[in-house]
Structure 1
């Protein structure tokens, strides 16, 4: 049985004799299974307590870097701030670098100016310039965790978020079920083609609707900003009169609703992502059919765990894809 402690420590923790612990660790015969289990539990307890001792009194500073609409950054910032006290007795602080639109050069510049950080949670474009900036941070001993949208060709230590391709397939399944035999076209609204997460959602959505004969119309490069989104959606709706449904991986949903209303067009199905303030209101008002959501506090907690694990302050835990929640007006969380 693998262990990292002296026989005396394990014996004290388990309440067994040192001779019994020694027999278990060296896999000698004549030891009952429940005794082996007691020794294994004692080692697990020592691991947990060692992790708590590493956290005790330590101070960690993390940076949250995101290009995203303010409605999403506000929601994630609140999630991070709510989770920071959960890591007591360690003291975690967060600095936020948040903006709505910009170039990959701007993102790389912000990453390049980070100093004194114990880790970065990053929502950024999947571009070589960004990957190089991530690699420089990691090379300097600063772990980077990508969130919501990945930069896989970088040295980032983990990706936290949903399975974006699976989310797109889920959206397509719901869309096709609700539209049924109607020949309605579907509009996909993306905030930008350089965000890998949105691209994976779109690919999943398109692949699952392949063969249905539905017209799929895409608008992109709005950065999720309402004014730009409304203009792009109006133009698309005027060109495509059969569009009667929307899948929105990228946000700007209030603007999309406004565009349908301006043209007095019916939107039969509207599937969106994330329970930000706008989407909560639209869902309550019946303007959205469903929201595909993930628990932002759980995401924030996992991202911070990944950073602390890098510093060996917590035991290793893999970052698994966050479960997708299908939210209707009738199961809307408080």
Structure 2
């Protein structure tokens, strides 16, 4: 067992006082340059490895993080992120970590700016950000860089914003993978439908845009003759409105047998297919939303791709803790696994306990 190195031992080796060593170890002021160099040389010679956890506890200060996510209507993906955030806070309670979740309206520049300005007034130590439009987000992250406040990106990776870290799937690879899996059962089709959930003609996230790029890249390279028909479904429509849109679509495209959606609402079509007894259409979708899982079990959805949202929320808070409190380097890009769920394995899918 390696012998514990005491501050007293370091002071004797460096020829300085115990108080000087303590100030150097905790990066406090009032240390001469010559004394600092003596202590640093002694630390190197003695191969001193500080106990960062003990130091952080001894410092006895509190830390405040803000988690900025879009407003949502009990969508399981975001709920699991929130649960992961809370689990991380509970695990780090001895270090006095607080993480406040704030919501902005997606596609609303004013809402994002209002929420971020309010958060900045409280001088937080770090942020977890689900980015909105890149230029709108950049205005905020430029402010954070200017005041030296670190931030972690979640859901959508925008490297130009220079985050401390990113947690989420590789969206391009995820879309490419989704296409490859879909074509295991759709390779004889002449046309497939790409269902998009949109608001004011826009996709719900940059992540879904990038998935579509990966999806179309695979299709262009491997199945260029298959026609991809786009079906746009408004985000805030009622069930009756969705039913009408889908009835009209299938009346116009009676030969469609395969559908893919790059977001978490595969259940909109899946539920419609079950209620109208259309058993010849299969769907590929995303996320372990309860309604999606039920459609998967009943057969109207063939595949779901899981995103590990719970772990994403946990790891984002933990990355801020490691960087800010423990002063450790964190991995800048952290891609989550791309997992394929079917009705045969959906009941065995479990959130990893952290």
TM-score between the two structures when normalised by the length of structure 2: 0.72
Contact 1:270 1:287 in 2 (8 A): yes
Residue deviations 1:96-125 (CA, integer Å, cap 9, x gap):
223664423322322222132222222232
Query: Which residue in the other structure is 1:103 paired with?
Result: 108
Q: CA RMSD in A?
A: 3.5
Contact 1:101 1:223 in 2 (8 A): no
Structure 2 Cα separation of the partners of residues 260 and 292 of structure 1: 20
Contact 1:122 1:144 in 2 (8 A): yes
State yes or no: 1:246 paired with 2:253.
no
Q: SS at the partner of 1:315?
A: coil
Number of residue pairs matched by the alignment: 304
**1:96-245 to 2 correspondence within 5 Å?**
96-98=101-103, 101-115=106-120, 116=122, 117-191=124-198, 192-193=202-203, 195-210=205-220, 211-212=222-223, 213-220=225-232, 222-223=234-235, 227=239, 236-245=249-258
Over 3 Å counting, the alpha-carbon distance change for 1:142 and 1:264 in structure 2 is same
Question: Which structure 2 residue ranges, 5 or more long, are not aligned?
Answer: 1-5, 11-40
Over 3 Å counting, the alpha-carbon distance change for 1:133 and 1:100 in structure 2 is closer
Find 1:323's aligned residue among 337, 341, 354: 337
Residue deviations 1:226-279 (CA, integer Å, cap 9, x gap):
657666655544443333222222222222224445665445332222223332
Query: Which residue in the other structure is 1:31 paired with?
Result: none
Q: Which has the higher contact order (CA 8 A, sep 6+)?
A: 2
Query: Which residue in the other structure is 1:33 paired with?
Result: none
Contact 1:226 1:255 in 2 (8 A): no
Find 1:277's aligned residue among 290, 294, 303: 290
Query: Which residue in the other structure is 2:65 paired with?
Result: 62
Query: Which residue in the other structure is 1:17 paired with?
Result: none
Residue deviations 1:71-106 (CA, integer Å, cap 9, x gap):
122222122212322224312222222366442332
Contact 2:156 2:206 in 1 (8 A): yes
Structure 2 Cα separation of the partners of residues 298 and 93 of structure 1: 18
TM-score between the two structures when normalised by the length of structure 1: 0.76
Structure 1 Cα separation of the partners of residues 171 and 294 of structure 2: 24
Deviation at residue 197 of structure 1 after TM alignment: 0.9
Contact 1:105 1:129 in 2 (8 A): no
Contact 1:64 1:121 in 2 (8 A): yes
Deviation at residue 199 of structure 1 after TM alignment: 0.8
Structure 1 Cα separation of the partners of residues 137 and 321 of structure 2: 23
